[in-house]
Structure 1
Amino acid sequence: MSFLTLKNITKSFGPNTVVRDFDLNVAPGEFVSFLGPSGCGKTTVLRMIAGFETPSSGSIHVGGTDVTALPASRRKIGMVFQAYALFPNMSVRDNVAFGLKIAGMPRAEIDTRVAEMLDLISLGSLADRYPYQMSGGQQQRVALARALAPRPNLLLLDEPLSALDAQIRTSLRDDIRRIQQELGITTVFVTHDQEEALSISDRVVVMHKGRADQIGTPAQIYNRPTTRFVADFVGKLNTFEARVESPQSIFFAGQNIHDPRHTDLTPGAPITVALRPEALSLRPRPGDDLSLPGRVLHSTFLGSVIRAQIEVAGQQVSVDMFNRADATLPVAGDMAEVWFTRGDVLVLPSVM
């Protein structure tokens, strides 16, 4: 069952089409992230859901009701922006209460609801402070409480963590996910940060040039990208230009690899083969059944990870290995074998 349905959404500004043929079904209580680079259309889709933009074509349903033509004020949607958008002349308590006052809720009920919201974001002791007296992370928590106070049907978050430093960003994203699960509210989250999207979402919509390139769980998006763009955008990737030898056989980096997972490859067709750096090792592990000869170019100590750059078949390949107390960095100039399993090989179309 879908709570939020976007069907064949297109949005144009004059001659420029920024969203095209966009379809999405979001289940009740689901947390879905729109992930993509600047200009891919993700915020435009969010603004259409909110009612700030009207689709050029297509329809939007929330809870079974067609809201495509409804103004934002009638959609019962809570929204949190990147820039907080708090009222500077109002205390924390009054900011959270603002939407409830507009709705005409009795004062006693407002006080009770505001107390609930401040407890939810763990800022009850700061109720009388003003935004300028608070950190960015605290201000964004207040913005979240204000959006949730009127009990919206749907929560929209437009890059709410972008203006915060790394440590606060990580803490707040965990809080957002905790609160979302606690309330069971259907949520759409916009971000260009893949770690944010992968860490807190039930599903991720990777957007590219106004379209949903791939929709799936974080594990599906990362481990089994279906397009070249998704593979390149999400995570780090080693790619090899390759050739299909037979429907189940691929030739790359001087080797012919039989892969029974593929039955629809066209013999002779050019394709791209990809391997994640963490799927590779310089020592054989249980299950590793393939290797490529190479030479160490250099290596870097990154704390929990050692990243080695290996020349394989004339190109540079990144190999990420977990650090251990007895680990030694690969030495530049040494010969090496890069090990992996055939199940780690991603086959992608050569065209982006």
Structure 2
Amino acid sequence: MSYLTLEKVGKIFGSSSVVSDFDLAVERGEFVSVLGPSGCGKTTVLRMVAGFERPSFGSIRIGGEDVTVQPANRRRIGMVFQAYALFPNMNVRDNVAFGLKVAGMDRRAIAGRVEEMLSLISLGHLAERYPYQLSGGQQQRVALARALAPRPKLLLLDEPLSALDAKIRVSLREDIRRIQRELAITTLFVTHDQEEALSIADRVVVMHRGRADQIASPLEIYNRPATRFVAEFVGTLNLFDAEMAQPGVLRFAGLNVETPMALTCRADEKIVVGLRPETLSLERRTEDDLSVTGTMLSTSFLGAVIRAQIDVDGRVIRLDMLNRGAGRLPPIGETVELRFSKHDLLVLSN
């Protein structure tokens, strides 16, 4: 039995349906990222799990207990927000201890638990400082420790890294994942950042217009997207208009391709073929069995990756290649062959 279960959950504000028929089953100790653009309903889902919003319909269970209408203060949930929400008049030690004092824990037990939490986030040396004396990353670590101190059943994180600069964001997300694994706490992590979602989660929920378009491992989300929205939202995608020339044969960009995947499309039905930029190559590789001709438009040096833009019949195609420190890049205006394998094709409904 799943530890956290949402069944047919929905939320309506006035005449607007923000979340519709949302199903999710999270195992004990699992880390699940809820990913989607602004306004897709991901934070509303988190707030319903926390008890800050009551579902308009559907049910929520934690540890087998129905908590759909249970108030937030009875759910034993740790929450970390984007804006830290630390008490400015309390030092780090007292911020972490706050929930334990509210729960009426013994003073000695509080002191021991606070020291444990400060050690976990590696900020014991800053215990007497106040929030204004800390960096953004340090404040968020304190917020995390405060949320975890009362030993919650669930940890919920609502865009906890979005206010931080890029380098601190990467460091803190690695810390969050490390701490989550050490404590084996069931976690929901809401973000609009695909790199964050894919890099630390066991599974990812991609939300679109209030629904879960796909729930799968990061690898499956990226390599086998279930919908066109997932394919375009997660990563970069080159799209070609296509159609079924005949059963089992796909036509696009002047090519007739026997598809390696099972398709249920009708002949002449308009569909779309996608190719990730990293699956394309300007050099011949053993696995490549298809190619299209184009004209080099531009190249951008991004350190480890070189990104090229190529015109293929009026469509701009993006290609990513590793920077190996040697080799010649075709000059702007040169005709090139873009090579790829039919196994890299993503066939999507239009």
Indicate the TM-score class for this superposition, using the shorter chain for normalisation: over 0.9
Measure how far apart 1:246 and its partner are: 2.3
> What does residue 9 of structure 2 align with?
9
Gapped runs of 5+ residues in structure 1? none
Q: Is the 8 A contact 1:8 1:23 kept in 2?
A: yes
Indicate the SS of the match to 1:282: coil
Distance 1:279 1:263 in 2: 21
> What does residue 276 of structure 1 align with?
276
> What does residue 104 of structure 1 align with?
104
Q: Is the 8 A contact 2:260 2:343 kept in 1?
A: no
> What does residue 171 of structure 2 align with?
171
> What does residue 72 of structure 2 align with?
72
Distance 2:282 2:325 in 1: 17
Distance 2:332 2:201 in 1: 40
> What does residue 54 of structure 1 align with?
54
> What does residue 290 of structure 2 align with?
290
* One-letter amino acid matched to 1:253: A
> What does residue 147 of structure 1 align with?
147
> What does residue 184 of structure 1 align with?
184
Distance 2:48 2:60 in 1: 8
> What does residue 252 of structure 2 align with?
252
Distance 1:37 1:263 in 2: 29
Q: How does 1:1-352 map to 2 (within 5 A)?
A: 1-350=1-350
Measure how far apart 1:298 and its partner are: 1.6
Measure how far apart 1:286 and its partner are: 2.1
Indicate the SS of the match to 2:100: helix
Measure how far apart 1:263 and its partner are: 3.8
1:258-278 superposed Cα distances (whole Å, 9 cap, x missing partner): 013124222111000000000
* One-letter amino acid matched to 1:109: A
Indicate the SS of the match to 2:9: strand
Identity fraction in percent: 67
Q: Is the 8 A contact 2:306 2:320 kept in 1?
A: yes
Indicate the SS of the match to 2:111: helix
Q: What number of residue pairs does the alignment pair up?
A: 350
Q: Is the 8 A contact 1:33 1:204 kept in 2?
A: yes
Indicate the SS of the match to 2:320: strand
Measure how far apart 1:138 and its partner are: 0.2
* One-letter amino acid matched to 2:346: L
1:190-230 superposed Cα distances (whole Å, 9 cap, x missing partner): 00000000000000000010000111110111111111111
Gapped runs of 5+ residues in structure 2? none
Q: Is the 8 A contact 2:4 2:62 kept in 1?
A: yes
Give the TM-score of the pair, scaled to structure 2: 0.99
Q: Is the 8 A contact 1:306 1:329 kept in 2?
A: no
Task: Report runs of 4+ in structure 1 exceeding 4 Å deviation.
Answer: none
Give the TM-score of the pair, scaled to structure 1: 0.98
Measure how far apart 1:158 and its partner are: 0.2
Measure how far apart 1:39 and its partner are: 0.3
Q: Is the 8 A contact 1:298 1:330 kept in 2?
A: no
Q: Which stretch of the first structure deviates more once superposed, 222-231 or 47-56?
A: 222-231
Q: Is the 8 A contact 2:260 2:342 kept in 1?
A: no
Q: Is the 8 A contact 1:32 1:188 kept in 2?
A: yes
* One-letter amino acid matched to 2:92: V
Measure how far apart 1:112 and its partner are: 0.4
Measure how far apart 1:325 and its partner are: 1.3
Indicate the SS of the match to 1:199: helix
Indicate the SS of the match to 1:235: coil
Measure how far apart 1:63 and its partner are: 0.3
Distance 1:131 1:241 in 2: 54
